């Protein structure tokens, strides 16, 4: 099997194991088995770090079920190959060439050089960030909840937020499917959540590069593009949301000035793959909802826990447009010229993603009796592994649940990786056709 095939198979096997565990009676609060399709949907959402749910996590699943979900999130975030490498390093086993190839594919790297060293850094950074967040959230929630419950909430949400999974356990406190609505005016919880989503979404390559900046005194081009694009999307997104929702009585309207700014930034960060919300997304104005669809489609950055077409792909497309308008042959970013194959890959990935989202939305519009914007929002959220919902997910039909589950799987694995898994062979062309010209525009 080729590396993409192994990755796809590994994800499927772990999802099926998680599904079986979630269907056991001890995984539910009432002691009755959760329907197989609902358990499959939840396991896929957890493993693919999405956060869309057909049943409320806190009121449906027992502590055992929630622990299964948390474990699936951790495996999905680090990657099952990274977890395997962790055990191999602990047991002092040698990482084979084949395993390095799979890790290269899983982390979307261009070469195998330093791949094991990068894995070590990923494990250390991830666990360190999660532990710090766990301590901070536990201290904050110990004010409102019993200490044991605060510890449990802190652990679950630190893992969920850093891995951009979007699962929460406050359905039993503030109402089913309420998300983090209880903390709309809480700057501590909101800032910690945003920091975790951003750190999980910028990618392990960027974190590693930033940690080594003092020693190297320079940043990779990839890091510069990711940080610049992410900053523009977050700040620009917050301004757009603040502008459209400022007078909306169902969202920002009742909040004071500081809370309005905080909530605007929170919902500019969350669509990048975070999947949690402090406001009711279904109550946003349609213009804002469509803008969130755009942010979800772009998603996080390569080598991260997030989905979407990625910030670098979006940056390349904007760079190509600017270069074409200016009459330039090359796309230049931070005084570096981009290779043609990067541009072709960005265009292919974007068109691939657009086709998948459009076809899925068309199919769901025939199986689900809801507004098209709501369906498009849900489809994009699933494909971008975001987890935000306008309320459609709990009302999905069985066919709709299966389609959304496949979209979450496809969005996490990556459409190009899945395409390579189905047809991995590359044939070298022995000849080239003569060049032709067609009119554009």
Give a three-class secondary structure readout of 274-337. CCCCCCCHHHCCHHHHHHHHHHHHHCCCCCCCCCCCCHHHHHHHHHHHHHHHCCCCCCEECCEE
Average pLDDT over residues 347-374: 92
pLDDT above 90 (res 382): yes
List 61's β-bridge partners, or say none: 28
CB proximity list for 303: less than 8 A, separation 6 or greater: 107, 108, 109, 203, 204, 205, 206
Q: Which two structure tokens, joined as six digits, stand for 315? A: 């940056």
Name residue, tokens 């904050």: 140
Cα 399 to chain center, whole Å?
Answer: 23
CA 239 – CA 229 distance, rounded (Å): 15
pLDDT above 60 (res 158): yes
**Burial label, 197 (beta-carbon count in 10 A; 0-12, 13-18, 19+):** buried
CA 71 – CA 3 distance, rounded (Å): 24
What does the pLDDT look like over 263-281, one tens digit per residue?
A: 999 999 999 888 899 999 9
CB proximity list for 114: less than 8 A, separation 6 or greater: none
**Burial label, 5 (beta-carbon count in 10 A; 0-12, 13-18, 19+):** middle
Q: Report the pLDDT value the prediction gives residue 174, as an integer from 0 to 100.
A: 84
pTM of the predicted model, to two decimals? 0.89
Average pLDDT over residues 109-124: 70
Average pLDDT over residues 290-309: 89
Q: Report the pLDDT value the prediction gives residue 248, as an integer from 0 to 100.
A: 93
CA 320 – CA 328 distance, rounded (Å): 9
| Strand boundaries in 17-139, DSSP class E | none
Q: Report the pLDDT value the prediction gives residue 302, as an integer from 0 to 100.
A: 83
Identify the residue with better confidence: 114 or 271.
271
Q: Say if residues 65 and 38 touch (Cβ distance below 8 Å).
A: no
Residue 150 CB neighbours (<10 A): 18
CA 58 – CA 168 distance, rounded (Å): 7
CA 114 – CA 116 distance, rounded (Å): 6
Q: Report the pLDDT value the prediction gives residue 46, as an integer from 0 to 100.
A: 93
List 333's β-bridge partners, or say none: 336
Q: Report the pLDDT value the prediction gives residue 170, as an integer from 0 to 100.
A: 92
CA 125 – CA 180 distance, rounded (Å): 26
- Alpha carbon separation from 328 to 128, 322, 323, 324, 399 (Å, rounded): 45, 8, 5, 6, 48
Confidence of residue 161 (pLDDT cuts 50, 70, 90): very high
CA 168 – CA 177 distance, rounded (Å): 9
What does the pLDDT look like over 312-357, one tens digit per residue?
A: 999 999 999 999 888 888 888 988 898 888 888 889 889 989 999 9
Q: How many residues does the chain have?
A: 441
CB proximity list for 291: less than 8 A, separation 6 or greater: 237, 240, 241, 244
Which of 70-84, 147-161, 200-214 has the lowest average pLDDT? 70-84
pLDDT above 80 (res 94): no
What does the pLDDT look like over 387-426, one tens digit per residue?
A: 999 989 999 999 999 999 999 998 887 765 655 555 555 5
With H, G, I as helix, E, B as strand and everything else as coil, classify residue 24. coil
Q: Which two structure tokens, joined as six digits, stand for 279? A: 């406001």
What does the pLDDT look like over 123-157, one tens digit per residue?
A: 888 889 999 999 999 999 999 999 999 999 999 99
Average pLDDT over residues 188-217: 88
């Amino acid at each position: 099997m080729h590396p993409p095939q192994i990755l796809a198979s590994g994800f499927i096997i772990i999802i099926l194991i998680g599904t079986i565990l979630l269907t056991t009676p001890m995984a539910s609060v009432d002691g009755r088995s959760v329907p197989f399709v609902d358990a499959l949907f939840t396991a896929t959402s957890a493993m693919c770090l999405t956060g869309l749910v057909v049943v409320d996590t806190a009121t449906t699943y027992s502590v055992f079920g929630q622990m299964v979900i948390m474990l699936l999130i951790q495996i999905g975030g680090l990657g099952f190959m990274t977890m395997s490498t962790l055990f191999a390093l602990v047991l002092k086993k040698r990482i084979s060439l084949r395993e390095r190839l799979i890790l290269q594919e899983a982390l979307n790297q261009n070469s195998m050089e330093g791949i094991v060293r990068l894995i070590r850094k990923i494990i250390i950074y991830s666990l360190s960030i999660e532990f710090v967040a766990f301590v901070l959230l536990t201290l904050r929630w110990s004010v409102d909840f019993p200490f044991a419950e605060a510890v449990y909430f802190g652990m679950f949400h630190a893992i969920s937020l850093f891995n951009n999974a979007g699962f929460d356990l406050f359905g039993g406190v503030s109402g089913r499917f309420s998300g983090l609505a209880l903390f709309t005016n809480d700057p501590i919880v909101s800032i910690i959540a945003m920091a975790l989503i951003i750190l999980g979404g910028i990618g392990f390559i960027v974190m590693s590069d930033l940690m080594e900046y003092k020693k190297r005194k320079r940043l990779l081009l990839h890091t510069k593009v990711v940080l610049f694009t992410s900053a523009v999307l977050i700040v620009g997104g917050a301004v757009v949301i603040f502008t459209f929702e400022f007078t909306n009585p169902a969202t920002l309207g009742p909040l004071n000035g500081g809370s309005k700014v905080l909530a605007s930034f929170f919902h500019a960060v969350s669509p990048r793959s975070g999947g949690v919300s402090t406001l009711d997304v279904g109550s946003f104005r349609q213009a804002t909802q469509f803008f969130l669809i755009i942010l979800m489609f772009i998603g996080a950055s390569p080598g991260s826990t997030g989905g979407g077409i990625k910030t670098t792909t979006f940056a390349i497309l904007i760079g190509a447009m600017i270069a074409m308008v200016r009459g330039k042959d090359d796309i230049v970013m931070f005084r570096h010229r981009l290779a043609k194959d990067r541009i072709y890959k960005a265009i292919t990935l974007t068109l691939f993603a657009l086709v998948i989202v459009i076809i899925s939305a068309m199919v769901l519009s025939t199986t689900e009796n809801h507004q098209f914007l709501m369906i498009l929002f849900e489809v994009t959220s699933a494909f971008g592994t975001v987890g935000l919902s306008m309320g459609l997910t709990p009302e999905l039909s069985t066919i709709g649940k299966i389609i959304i589950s496949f979209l979450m799987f496809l969005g996490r694995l990556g459409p190009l990786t899945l395409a390579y898994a189905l047809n991995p062979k590359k044939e070298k062309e022995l000849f080239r056709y003569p060049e032709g010209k067609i009119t554009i525009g």
